[in-house]
Every structure is written in C-alpha cells, then in structure tokens.
Structure 1
Amino acid sequence: MAQTGDPDDAVPPPGPGFALALGHAWRTFGITWSTSRSLTLLIAALTVFVALLPALALYLSKLVIDGVVTAMDSGAAGDRDLALIWVTAEAAALALLLAARRLLVFYKTRLHAELGFAVTSIILRKSAALSLAQVEDAAIQQQLLLARQYAASRPYNLVNRLFDGAQQFLTLISVAALLWGFSAWLFLLVVAGGLPLFIGNLRFAGTAYRFYTGRSPQMRERSYLESLITTEAAARERLHFGFGDELLRRYGDLFESLHGADTALHARQAWIAAALGVLSSAVFLGGKVWIVWVTIGGAISLGQMTMLVGLLKQGQANVSSLLAAFNGVVEDLLYVANLFAVMELPEEDRTGGATEGPDPADGLRFENVSFSYPGRKRPALDSVSFHLPHGARLGIVGANGSGKTTLVKLVTGLYAPDSGRVTLDGLDLRQWQHAALHRRLGVMFQPFMNYKLSARDNIAAGLALAEIDEADILKAARLGLAEELIGELPDGLDTRLSRHFIDGHDLSGGQWQRLAMARAYLNEQADILILDEPTAAMDPAAEAEFMQRPLDGKSVILISHRLSNLRGADQIIVLDKGRLIEAGTHDALVAMGGLYAELFESQADPYREG
C-alpha cells in the first residue's frame, strides 16, 4: 500500500553532480542532433530570431511615440511621415515575431515526436540486449519503467528548455543593452525581481523528482489493480469469487493516499510561489513608479518612459523565464540521468562465435552445474550432472521449485552456471554463437507466451518472426496438434488472437498450448526439443496423440508432472530442491522405491480405485 510520509523522505536514485549534469545535457543534445540535424538547426535559427525581436519592437515603439509627439508639436509633414515609417516598422517587427513564434511551435512539435521515437527506440534496443537475469532484476525493471515512462517527454523537455533558456538569455542581453544605456540600476532591479521565484522553483525541482520517483511502486500497484478490474484474464475469478468491491476499495484507498500526498506537495509549492510572486511584483512596481516619477519631472520623454516600462517588464519576464528554464533543466536532468543509467547497463557478453562443437556425437551434458538466483539462500540447482546423447529422450521430474525450469534456462543459454558447465557436442555453451545455439534447440517454455498477434505470428515467433512459407507454418501446426484449430479460426493463420481488437478471436488454454508447441516445432534444424509441461492443458486424447508421435531422431527433454508421459524415456532424472536425487529408466526408478516410485504410485492409485 502507498506510503503517506513526506515526499522528501522517499529514496530515489541520486541526482547527477554538476559535471555529470553537463555531460548528460550534452549527450541529450547529441541524441537530438543525430535524430534530426535540419530540425535542430532550424529551431536554433528561429530561436535567435525570436530572441532579438522583442527589444527591437520596444525600441521602435519609443521612436513611434516620440515621433507622434514631435509631429503633433511641429505639424511638419516630414515629422508626420517619419512617425508613420516607425509605426510601420514596429508593426512589421511584431508580425515577424508572431510568425516566427508560430513556426517555432510547429517545428518543436515535430522534434518532440521524432525525439520521443528515437529515445524510445534506444530504450527498447537496450532492453532487447539485456540478459534474462538483468530483465528479471527488480532494480533494472524500475530503471526501465522510469525510462519508458518519460522517454517522450523528459529528453525533449530538456532540449526545449535549453533552447528557451538561450532565447531568454539573448533577449535579456538585448534588453540589458537598452536599459544599461539609461540606468544600470534598472537592469540590476530586473535581475533582483526574478530571483525569488527562481529560488522557490529550484527548491521544488528536487522535491518533485524525489516524490514522483519514490512512489513508482505505488503507481505500478494502481495500474495492476486497474488491470484486475478491467481485463478479461482476471474477470472469471473476480466475478466468481466476488472480490471486485474489495479491489475497488483498495484502488480508492491507494488513490486517496497518492492524491493526498500529491495535493500536499502542490499546496506547499503554490503558497510559496504566490508569496514569492508578490515579492517579485513589488520589485517591478517600484521600478515602474520611479520611471513614471522621472518622466513627470521631465528627465525623459514619453517614448523613453514607454520603452523603459516595457523593457523593465520584458526583462523581468526574461529573468523569470530564464531561471524557470534553468529549474526545469535541473529537474529534467534528474530523469535523464536515469535514461543514461539504462543506456550504460552492461549488455550480455555474446562473444562466443562457435557454430559447432568438437564432438558432434556427444550430445548435451551437465557437469556439476550449480546456479543460484540473487538474494536466494538455497541454490536453484546444486551440482547437477547428466548426459543426453543425440536421439535420446530425457524425462525430468520434480515438485514445483525443484529447479526444472531453471535447468531449461541453462540449456538454452539464457543463464550461465555459477559453477560447473553445460556443453553441447563437447563445447561449453558460453562459447557457442547464440544464433547457432538457438538453431539447435526447439523450445516450449513454461509458462509459454500467448502473443496477441495473428496465429501465423504466434507460430513464426519460433524463428524470430521471420517470413516463413505457409507450408512450413502449417507443418509446424500439424506437429503441435494445432492444424485443426487453425482451420476453425475465422481468418485462418491471419486471425488476430485477442479480444482486445474488434476482429480478434480468443482461445482456450489448451489451444494456446498447441500454438506454443507448434512454435517449438517450427525450427526444423533443431535436433534437441525441450518441452516444459507440454500437455498440461491438453485433453486426454490430444495428450495420447502427442506422446505417441515419432520424433525423427531428435533428442527430447520432457518435463512433466504426469509421470505416465515419461514411461518411454531413455532416462529420467528426479530433482528435489535443486539436487539430482534419482536417475534411471521408469522401471528402474519404480523398482528403486524412492521419490519417483512414490509419485508414480500416488498418480496410479485413483485409476486403480476406478
């Protein structure tokens, strides 16, 4: 449940130091440059143009007013014509400023979309390159979540604020030049008027980051509760067991907790910002009163007064905007730092380049293999050894948590052993080229994925979603007992398998399992077939048909809780709490009277009683 403490108490990733922050800003700008050089240059040019026009327009307004006063006093045609020239020039400057600002918004919108896509692509490529152990790491999952969540906004916001800051700085320089020529202390007043809001915003930039990153687990919980209430996957149990109201209550409590903390943070920020805003306005008002006072005294003209008041207002706005941009940059850098932390995650070492082993007749071996998950006291596998010759069938038995699925991940190279080694054809799997290893293995994982794509894609995933001949797809479907299922789908292989789409079609658990088996069979080059609980959701007839199918010389690793499926295995190993405690044929293990025999008898008794 959400925590309701002070947001300052949250413990997020630390923010970057000054030198590192500059590096992150430069790297972000580098990504922007590589995304679209033309857009970056165009926005930079428009930024300079928009930055210099306000001071020019204010100076022209002074000339207009002074020209009008002079023309009224003299009545000369030349003075009147000059005043009209100045007003035309001012109108042109303001029109150009308006047009440039609108173009700047348009091109920045384009950059926002393109940069968001580029950053998201970087994150997805990095995620695809991570090892299974990294993907399963909760801390890395948190980093990836934050990076994806802010991929389209924070890098763009940082670049946009850098452009805005440059624009405000250039405008401030031009305003300062005009103010300094009249009175240096007016420029200092402009700077002093913007400092209060800057200090307040800087204080809240870090607080907001700590607050929003610190509550990410609660946000994930809220999203999960929403999915339990809205998705069809949870609907059956939710409706049958009747816990919908309890889910709504928890969702409401979580919202109240998050909303309460959010409101408290923004309330503090609003009150402090209001007080600092009043102070800033008082500074501006003091300067304006002084300008009017000296104008009444005849020290400056009416046009100069108008220009100076405008410059004072423009300068204060520039200072506030410049410092606000700086505050925003500080906040954005905190989020961008997480993006670069993701980019710098070490990728899996895929230096193995072997495509075959020295002893093609040796098959698969585990030699004293041990593996432990981070943070677990007991090894998932502890000194496990066995040999699977080519063309042999190996059955694996064990209770949940005994290490069966971990063994599959080691066989497929998704994990590397902590000690010992796994070899194929006499060569350590770490030395194999990943693509070559994957070509040798057809795998049905447990749990398997139900891809909300077409039936064709669900099978083609077995060969990296490559373009596969339909005949090969249908052959794999036949081997996976999915041929009849494909024929019954409204659009055959092109049927979208999800009710999330208007034309989608849903499947039962057993039907999804058949597609997963077809996926494993698609790789005809595979000479080792790994099936993790392949008949768990099958009806008895389909299970019998599957178990009696010839496997054309392939080696098979079959994991099953139904021990009757393993009677034809050349060897069966029994795992218990990560250790291999029994090994042999079905008949030998039954005669041994150990754990396997107990499990087999317990499954056979109900049939005897029947």
Structure 2
Amino acid sequence: MARFRKYRRSQPKKGSFDPDDETTVKHTKLGIWDLYEEIDSGHETYIPVPPKLEEYWQYAESLPYVWHMMKDILALENCRVLLILLGMLQVSQSLLPALSLWFSSQLLTIVQVAVDTRAVDKQFLLRIAAGRIACAIAIRVLSHYKTIITSPLQRRIKQFYSLHIFHAMARLDVPTFEDTAVQRQLEATYTRFGSSVAWEVIQTLFSVATVAVQLVSQVSVLVAVMHGQAEGPLISSLALLQTVFEYMSMKRMIVQPGNRKYLWAATTKNEDYIRMEGMKRVVNDNEHRKELVAGNLAEYLTDQYRRLAKKVGDNAMDFNETKRMYENRLRMNASAVLQVILRELPLIAFSLRAVQYPASIPLSLASLNLIRETVSNFSYGLLDFVDATGSIGQQLSDIRKLYEVDAIPNKVPDGSEPFPENDKTLESGVSVEFRNVSFKYPGSDKFALRHVSFYIGPGQLCVIVGSNGSGKSTILKLISRIYDPVEGEILIDGRDIKTLLLADLRRRISVLFQDYTHFPLSIKENIALGNPELAHDEDKIREAARLGGAEEFIKELPEGMDTYLTRPVRDYYAPLPEGTKTLFGRSVDYTRLRGMGRMKPRDSFPLSGGQMQRLAVSRTFMRSLLSEASDTGVGLLLFDEPSASLDPTAEHDLFERLRQLRGHKTMLFSSHRFGNLTRHADILLYINDSSIKEAGTHEELLKRDGEYARIWNLQAQAFLS
C-alpha cells in the first residue's frame, strides 16, 4: 500500500517524471484513482487538518428538516444497521477513558496499600495493569472499526445528497439560477472537505452525545480519585485554566502542510466517473444553463447521473477524499498497537517501583499528577463539546437549505396546456407572434426590447437582421421562454406561450444560441445531447456531425468522437521535473505547481472558433433534423448567429443544408450579415435600438430604400470593390 508523505516546497528537479517507468515509479490503485509515486520511502505521513466553520446560530425551524434527513438516511441501503453500529462504538469508546482512569487510580491504590502494609496483591496488580493496557488497545481498535463503518456510511450519504442536489439544480431556469440569493442558498448545500452537509450534521450529533457521555463518566471517576486529596481542587482548577489557554492558542493557529521533496501524480481513467463529473459541471456552471433549459435536458441528465452513480458506487470520490480514506486504513497496524502499549509502560513501571521502594515514592504527588492529566483531558473534551454545540445551529440551518433547495420556485412559471394538441401539425411548422413585447434583463434598467410586434406564419423562414446588441438574441430567448417579457404577449400557434407546458414547448423547439457552450463531455455526447432520445444511436450522431460540417475535423482527432474538449476531472501531481512536458497525454502547466497541485482542465485538442461552432450546429441538427426518428417532433427552429465564426464557403454550405433539410418547419435566424440567406427569407425583420424598424421581404425592403437597403448596399459594395 502506498504511503502518503509530507509536502515540502522545492524547485522542479532536472530530468523528467514518467508514470510508465516501473523502475523509478511505483503505481498504486486507490479506488478509481491511479497514484504514481517516485520510489522513495523516506518521508513521513501527512494528514491534512481542514479548517472548521465557526458559526453560532440556532434555528428551531430547522429541526423538522433534520428529522426528514434522518428518515431519508435510515431508508438508504444498510445505513440503519451502520448507524446503530456506529452509535454503539461511539458510546463504548466514550466510556473507555473513564474506565482507563479508574484502572490508573487502582494502580495508585495498590501502591498506597503496599506502602502502608508492606504487602502487595500481585495477582490484583497484574489484572489492573492488564486492564489498563486493554483499555488503551480497545480505544485504538474501536477507533479503527469506527473508521471502517464510517467510510461506507459517509459515501452513501454523500451520494444520496449529491443526486438530490444534482436534480434540484438541474430543474432551475436561467433567471432563477442567476439570482444571487439562490446562488447563496445553493452554496450552503455544497460538499465541504470531501464530505456533505448531512454527514457533518450526523457527525456533530454523534459527537455531542458521545462527548456528553464521556464527560459525565470522567467526572464521576475524577471525583472518586480526588477523594482525600486536599490539593485536588486547586490542581484541577490550575490544570483547567492551563488547558483553556492552550486550547485558545491552538484555535488561533493556522495548520498548513509542509512541502514535498518527492514526485508523484494521480489520475483517473474511469470513464463513468469522468462523465459524472462532466454532468455535474453541465448542471453547476452558469454558462451551460440556457442550453440545459432550452434543450429540456434536466431529466435525461439526472437519469444518466443516477445510472453512473450506481455503477461507480462508493468509489465516486475525488483524489483527496480517496487519499484520506486509504490513510485511515493505514492507521491500524501492529506498530500502532505497540505504540499504545509502550505509552502505558511508564505508569506501570512507576507502580512496580512504588511496590519495591514504597518509602521513596511521593504518593500524593503521583496521585495529583494523575488528576492533572485527567483534568487536562477532561478540559479538552469539554471545550470540544462547546465547539460542537456552537456549530450545531449553523449546520441545522444548512440542512434546512439542503431540503429547501429542492423547492425553489422557478421564475418562469410552467403552463398547464399541452402543446401541440396534435403532433401532425408540427410537420407544417408553427406560427410565432409578438404583440407589443418589451423586456429588460434582470438587474438592468435598459430595455433589451421595446414595443416589438411581428408575425411569422407556419413554415415560414424569418431572418432578423441588425447590429450586435440590437435585441436579436433576446427575441429567441423569449420564444424559448428562457425569460418572460415584462410587457406584451407572445403567441405560439395563436396560444399564449405562458399557458403552454414548458417541457412540451421546449421539446418542440430547437435552438442554437449565439453564446453557445460546449459541455465538459466527449464530442459524441456534446452532439448527442441535442436529442437525448437518440443519444444511443451512433449513426444518427455521425449524421448530425456531417450535417453540421464537423465530420472532417473530428476524424483527425486521436480519439475521434470520444475526445474530451475539456476534461472534467483534474489530475493531481507534485512539483514535477522541468523536463516533464506531458503527463497522462496532457500538457503540464508549470505556473500551477504549488505543492500538492491540480492540473487545471485544458482543451486536450484546442479547436478553432469555426470548428467549435460546427459542433454547436451539429448538436442543433441532432435535435431539429433527426427528430423524426423519435416520438416527438420539432416544429420551430431558432438559430442565433449560426455562422458568425464560419468562413464564407462553410456559411454557404450550412445555409443550403438548413434550407433543404428543414422541410416545412418554421425557421427563425438572427444575423448581422446581409447575404444569401436574407434573399430567401419569407419575412425579414430589421431591428435596431431594441425595436423593429422595418419588416417585409428582401425585395420589399430594398424598394422601400430605408436603413435595411442602405446596409445591404454597403455590404454588397465591400464584396464588389
């Protein structure tokens, strides 16, 4: 088993670090992680000490949520049994210090009797000595088995609430997710130090109960030990005061790890875990929220995450959490037991010496030394108890937020009417009408749209043209109900858009936003998520890549469709030799080497802006043009600047494919370019300064000789000159 060593800062060494070199590097499998260590065994173990949150609040309203939490945890597989076993171990362990104190007092009593009578019961002495050692060993053994029980219990609780939070966050719409108050509420549910809010509460409740038992039992024995010792109360008070000062000094210390002299790196090759982390980022990162909502991906991603979580099981941990788990396993061994025995020998040797030379041993001093040691331990336990109870209020509040996050109301309310009433109507597209629509983005006083009205008939091709920032993208966001207007009405097939079921509406719309994102998943899944119902069909995915113009450059990537543009799971590593340029097939960024560092996810194979846009278009093709293979169709296609990063040839080819393959569906484009697409439009909307200035066909607007005609002629002259 690999041993983890203390960190020390050092300059990068000469040479290189090759994880595949078995002569100089040791490979250890830690769950789903692969740890590669330079062969060097001369370093000490380092165990990180996480900081502790110190918040002192009490909320009685949170108690029902704690009860809800306990019912959920007890319903998990085997968790009821594990909690009972953990409680029994905690209580047993809390009683052992008092029992150990009693054995110590008995040893002193034996010495006292030996001094007074010049006789000793050797059998009784051996039994007491053996009992004292047995207590010490029992404490270590119980601690070991407590760790064994705690690990699976903690992982199952973490996994349960990870899924709970994943689903709660996935269902939030864009304006709700962007709300700072909601973000603060979500932050309270995040896992800390590889744990979870629920597990922290369980630990605190157990700690408070067991420390209370330990303190009561120790006080009882301590009172008996101090009986007859005149100096006992004074020494106890001084020991208590000394402990308080030491404790306060320790609380002010900042525990920092040292720096390492040896080389190591860790990575995971578990594809299921990598996909899980990628899906977490899809749900967590604000940049993906619009496509997640508009693509109706919440339930699909939740189902996939649930399946992957079940498959990975208890191994779904980051490297630091996995490392701590394996460190805990190393703490119980023969050497540890021997250390316990050796630590107890001085007191036993003192007692034996007292039996042999009773006249030379100051009995009262020995007794009071025991009292002082006991009071010191008692004081630390008491202060830890105060700390634990002081943090309960904040933890109870976090549990309340953990459950309330599942009930955060979306700011875009759901409708109640199914859409469409007949799926056959989608084959000829849908109509879109804006009636005096105005809109401001949350937190802004400026209108993004003001008094906008237009009508697009079923099956028509509409192109919205205008400068950047004029409001083109906002129209598409309102149609897909990413936001709702502050004034006016939007009608889909003559029905108020707010009355339609959101899931139905978004299932019938395919949208490509100008500020599209790429999910931290493989290229194949980036395209497949355009239509989750066909995510298993690789032929359809390849067809979508071809239609989007991404097929050729995908073939040139070493892993093809399985390439991750951004790897969602980081690699961990120590300061590496300056000759190490790559690690696990990825470039090393030396600017980020800081002790136990993490390699920031980077584009494994950086793509051009045009290639990235082709991937986004391929995802849109997956949804809009291949939907006939699924049970539900798409009747409205929305494209926001789909060719902004494409060269003229690629743009022309894209528009031709879109025009030919859209069939009779309604299609709405936004663009700041005036070209081939605008000439084929059934209706053109020229927008400027957040309002529609001109509307009509290309020929009609040229004859009107307005602003559209002026810009058209300017762009045409640029190509003719």
Mapped to 2, the partners of 1:518 and 1:388 lie a distance apart of 25
Structure 1 CA distance for aligned equivalents of residues 166 and 608 of structure 2: 31
Q: Which amino acid aligns with 2:688?
A: D
Unaligned segments of structure 2, at least 5 residues: 1-54, 254-358, 569-583, 587-603, 628-632
- Verify: 1:560 aligned to 2:671, yes or no: yes
Distance 1:338 1:499, change over 3 A: closer
Distance 1:19 1:85 in 2: 50
Gap regions ≥5 residues in structure 1: 1-13, 206-295
Instruction: String of CA shifts for 1:11-37, please: whole Å, max 9, x gaps.
Output: xxx975442465676666666556643
Instruction: Provide the rounded CA distance (Å) in 1 between the counterparts of 2:712 and 2:615.
Output: 29
Q: Call closer, same or farther: CA 1:459–1:171 in 2, change over 3 Å.
A: same
Q: Distance in 2 between matches of 1:344 and 1:15?
A: 26
Distance 1:191 1:24 in 2: 41
For residues 380-424 of structure 1, what are the alpha-carbon distances to aligned partners after superposition, in whole Å with 9 as ceiling and x for unaligned? 222322222221101111222222111111111222222333232
Deviation at 1:535, TM superposition (A): 1.2
CA distance in 2: counterparts of 1:347 and 1:38, whole angstroms: 39
Shift of 1:165: 2.5
Superposition map of 1:524-563 within 5 A: 524=627, 525-549=633-657, 550=660, 551-563=662-674
Amino acid at match of 2:140: L
Q: Which deviates the most, 49-58 or 28-37?
A: 28-37
Amino acid of the structure 2 residue aligned with 1:449:
T
Paired residues, what number? 506
Q: How far is the alpha carbon of 1:366 from its aligned partner? A: 2.1
CA distance in 1, matches of 2:169, 2:445: 28
Q: For 1:427, which of 464, 489, 495 is the aligned residue? A: 495
Please name the residue that 1:513 is paired with: 613
Structure 1 or 2: larger helix share?
1
Greater Cα offset, 528-537 or 462-471: 462-471
Q: Does 1:314 align with 2:377?
A: yes
1:355 aligns with 2:466: no
1:57 to 100, 104, 118: 100
User: Taking structure 1 as reference, are residues 331 and 300 closer, same or farther at Cα in structure 2, changes over 3 Å only?
Assistant: farther
Contact 1:444–1:520 (Cα < 8 Å) also in 2: yes
Find the partner of 1:588 among 663, 675, 700. Answer: 700
Quote the offset at 1:490 in angstroms.
Answer: 3.5
CA contact (8 A) 2:431 2:456 kept: yes
Q: Which amino acid aligns with 2:706?
A: G
C-alpha distance in 2 between matches for 1:101 and 1:342: 35
Q: Contact conserved, 2:681 with 2:698, CA < 8 A, in 1?
A: yes
Contact 1:116 1:153 in 2 (8 A): yes
- Is the Cα contact below 8 Å between 2:414 and 2:501 reproduced in 1? yes
3-state DSSP of counterpart to 1:581: strand
Question: In the alignment, is the contact (CA less than 8 A) between 2:95 and 2:217 conserved in 1?
Answer: yes
Q: Which residue of 2 aligns with 1:230?
A: none
Relative distance call for 1:62 and 1:195 in structure 2 (3 A) is closer
- Measured in 1, the distance between the counterparts of 2:655 and 2:522 equals 27
Residue 6 of structure 1 is matched in structure 2 by none
The 1:17–1:540 alpha-carbon spacing in structure 2 relative to 1, beyond 3 Å, is same
Q: Under a length normalisation based on structure 2, what TM-score does the superposition of the two structures give? A: 0.62
> Using the alignment, how far apart are the partners of 1:337 and 1:200 within structure 2?
31
Q: Is 2:212 aligned against 1:169?
A: yes
Select which of 170, 173, 193 maps to 1:131.
Answer: 173
Equivalent in the alignment of 1:450: 518
Q: Which residue matches 1:409?
A: 477
2:477 and 2:365 map into 1 onto residues whose CA distance is: 82
Question: 2 CA distance for matches of 1:321 and 1:568?
Answer: 75
Q: Pick closer, same or farther for the CA change 1:330–1:59 going to 2, 3 Å.
A: same
Higher deviation after alignment, 188-197 or 454-463: 188-197
SS across alignment from 1:380:
strand
Equivalent residue number for residue 122 of structure 1: 164
Distance in 2 between residues matched to 1:486 and 1:306, nearest whole Å:
76
Distance 2:252 2:474 in 1: 47
Letter in 2 for 1:541: T
Shift of the 118–577 alpha-carbon distance from structure 1 to 2, 3 Å rule, reads farther
Q: Per the alignment, in what secondary structure is the counterpart of residue 530 of structure 2?
A: helix
CA offset digits 1:416-444 (Å, max 9, x no partner)? 22233323223333333333223311211
Q: Kindly indicate whether the alpha-carbon contact (under 8 Å) linking 1:489 and 1:495 is maintained by their aligned counterparts in 2.
A: yes
**Aligned in 2, Cα 1:90/1:470: closer, same or farther, shift over 3 Å?**
same
Asked if 1:101 corresponds to 2:143, the answer is yes
Q: For each residue in 1:460-480, what CA deviation from the matched residue of structure 2 results, as whole angstroms up to 9, or x when unmatched?
A: 010138533222122222322
Q: Letter of the 1:513 partner, please give it.
A: Q
2:192 corresponds in structure 1 to 150
% of aligned pairs identical?
A: 30
Deviations 1:554-584 (A, max 9, x none): 2110111111131110001122232222111
Greater CA deviation, 110-119 or 409-418?
110-119
Structure 1 residue 133: deviation in Å? Answer: 0.7
| Superposed counterparts of 1:379-394, under 5 Å | 379-394=447-462
Distance 2:368 2:240 in 1: 21
* 1:462 alignment partner, SS class: coil
Matched, 1:502 2:565: no
Deviation of residue 595 (structure 1)?
2.4
Aligned partners of 2:466 and 2:472 also within 8 Å? yes
Give the TM-score, by structure 1 length: 0.72
SS of 1:51 mapped into structure 2: helix
3-state SS, counterpart of residue 447 of structure 2: coil
Match of 2:464, SS state, is strand
User: Where does residue 484 of structure 1 map in the other structure?
Assistant: 552
For residue 135 of structure 2, give the secondary structure of its aligned residue in structure 1.
helix
